[in-house]
Structure 1
């Protein structure tokens, strides 16, 4: 594994000086906005990992003042003890920074990557919670397979329901991801080698409208860059519900879908993948009340793939048989999205 960052993304602080052999420093990037209680749960779960190597948690506040009370790094915490042993090598630390790039989730994640000192980088959403063994199992999987990226399964928590979703290795190839999104390969499960992230795969795309679907765009590029290793067990608790920033931003979602279709050839050339995108677009039009556009895109979708469920959901919403909110709740209660 390579520990040297590229010049344009060199971290502003040094990594712990003593790293156990075979236990690389892992930088965990948590982008956050207006979720203080959920954020503290997410950070605590990162710090409580049973991984024997060092872990730094980089919390990036997007469009909000950073909460420095979370920090354990003296450079970031003005209340830290100045007489603490600066030469010590803590196994866990938290740094708090602001988003200095494009406002939104993509820019916030990239701001965290820019500050990450680790040989490995992981993402965690601010409303998700890692299980204690996550990093230990995924670092071992990367070492065993030589892959640049590892993902795992998830537990979807929706109200009082828990749905387990676990991908197989065959699910995280580019064609499968394009055709059905493979939401089991959730961004909060991602562990990636820093050099591959910064060079071959690339950072999170900040040009995506509203940062919507930036995780799908990134995991699709990762799959196109090389094999993705899978720990076939749930290692992350994913909270679904009304807290989603995209639950009612349908116009932005339409723009983001169109952006992805232009960017990714596989989404245009594979009929099932294209149908999925057009079906989502049809549903978005139905949700904003544009019945004509919704039915038009639903027809396009069904010509490509008569089995695409999003087209049928769009039709029933466009006809007023069920509300978009109700359709979304039904899908989420089954551990799925639209």
Structure 2
């Protein structure tokens, strides 16, 4: 099977072949952050070749100053596909030369040892469609380590977003992205939840296996393009619910998404929609806290910004 560490015999000696990896880094108007992300990718202590492709989305490309070294290369290109994160990711995937594709968002970082540990795990589970790692959420009040589960199934992803399995710590074979699993969905409104939708698709082909230790830093101590974009949340999550009828058999997972939609509607001031979605969520899971939070925001008992700050201070997402 391609995309694995293999052993080759040359001149009577056995050597290991480590597959080439392409890291796709989508970016938009964040020059300092993207430079940090690229450095973390190219500094990996990985025996194989690493190609880093930076895709500029809705912004002008510029050179990125990083030190050159053997077996490491950097390319810069523009997103020529659908504007947004999904199109930018796909632009990089299509242009990639590596057998293995990884992503690193421009505001995140890879920690030393990430690629080596993932490929070593993959050698033991060669049929896994995706290999991930744990992560560290870095917020204003410090770091929050989040070890990943050893494995996660399609049913697990229906029940939970599993925040520890993140776009910035995934590895997948390029051949699978171009064939059975498919590219990132560019029809998803505003690309909101594009990594979750793709993981649901990928997990239909087998469990996601993880190196449990954190090997990626997810930075929340910076402005996010999605911060406050409640309309994007409503449209993106509604799309995912419609696309996956299997949520009907996972009431707690469905309630989680309905609660998120309710909260976003409440943050927009759409009280009727917020109440409607909140009661849907509570019917599926009476303990769904997002739905209760949405009702509190709709009743103007608390501001959505305050609740988001409280949740993120604990290294959690809404």
- TM-score range for the pair, normalised by the shorter chain length: over 0.9
Give the TM-score normalised by the residue count of structure 1: 0.87
Give the corresponding residue for 1:319. 299
Match of residue 56 from structure 1: 51
Partner of 1:22: 17
1:94 maps to 74
Label 1:72 to 1:104 Cα distance change in 2 as closer, same or farther (>3 A).
Answer: farther
Aligned equivalents of 1:288, 1:128: Cα separation in 2:
28
CA distance in 1, matches of 2:59, 2:66: 16
Aligned counterpart for 1:331 among listed residues 308, 311, 316: 311
How far off is 1:122 after superposition?
0.4
| 1:112 match | 92
2:247 and 2:62 map into 1 onto residues whose CA distance is: 40
Structure 1 residue ranges without an equivalent (≥5): 4-19, 74-88
- The equivalences for 1:280-295 within 5 A come to 280-295=260-275
Partner Cα distance (2:109, 2:232) in 1: 27
SS in 1 for 2:212: strand
Decide whether the 8 Å contact of 2:129 with 2:205 is kept in 1.
Answer: no
Q: Distance in 1 between matches of 2:177 and 2:150?
A: 20
Does residue 168 in structure 1 map to residue 170 in structure 2?
no
Cα distance, 1:69–1:125 mapped onto 2, change above 3 Å: closer
Task: Say if 1:25 and 1:119, in contact at 8 Å, map to a contact too.
Answer: yes
**Paired residues for 1:200-219 under 5 Å:** 200-219=180-199
The residue that corresponds to 2:28 in the other structure is 33
Matched residues in 2 for 1:137 and 1:196: separation? 21
**Matches of 2:44 and 2:143 in 1, distance apart?**
22
Q: Which residue of 2 aligns with 1:149?
A: 130
**What corresponds to 1:85 in structure 2?**
none
Q: Which has the higher strand share?
A: 2
| Partner Cα separation in structure 2 for residue 70 and residue 206 of structure 1 | 30
Question: Helix, strand or coil: the match of 1:326?
Answer: helix
Poorly superposed stretches of 4+, deviation over 3 Å:
69-73
Q: Give the aligned partner of residue 208 of structure 2.
A: 228
Q: What is the match of residue 2 of structure 1?
A: 2
Q: How many residues align?
A: 306
Q: What's the offset of the Cα at 1:292?
A: 2.1
Cα deviations across residues 164-212 of structure 1 (Å, max 9, x unaligned)?
1112134x21122122200100110001111122211111000000000
On the 8 A contact 1:70/1:96 being kept in 2, the answer is no
The answer on whether the counterparts of 2:35 and 2:64 sit within 8 Å (CA) in structure 1 is no
Equivalent in 107, 110, 123 of residue 130 of structure 1? 110
- Farther off after superposition, 26-35 or 288-297: 288-297
- How far the C-alpha of 1:148 sits from its partner, in A, is 2.6
Q: CA deviation at 1:72?
A: 8.4
Residue number in structure 2 paired with 1:182: 162
The corresponding residue for 2:140 is: 159
> Is 1:254 aligned to residue 254 of structure 2?
no
1:7 alignment partner in structure 2:
none
| Change over 3 Å in CA distance of 1:69–1:38 after alignment to 2 | closer
> Shift of the alpha carbon at 1:71?
8.0
Measured against aligned partners, the alpha-carbon deviations of 1:278-327 in whole angstroms (never above 9, x if no partner) come to 11111011100112221221111111101111111111111112111111
Matched, 1:140 2:135: no
Displacement of 1:268 in angstroms is 3.6
Q: TM-score, normalised by structure 2?
A: 0.92
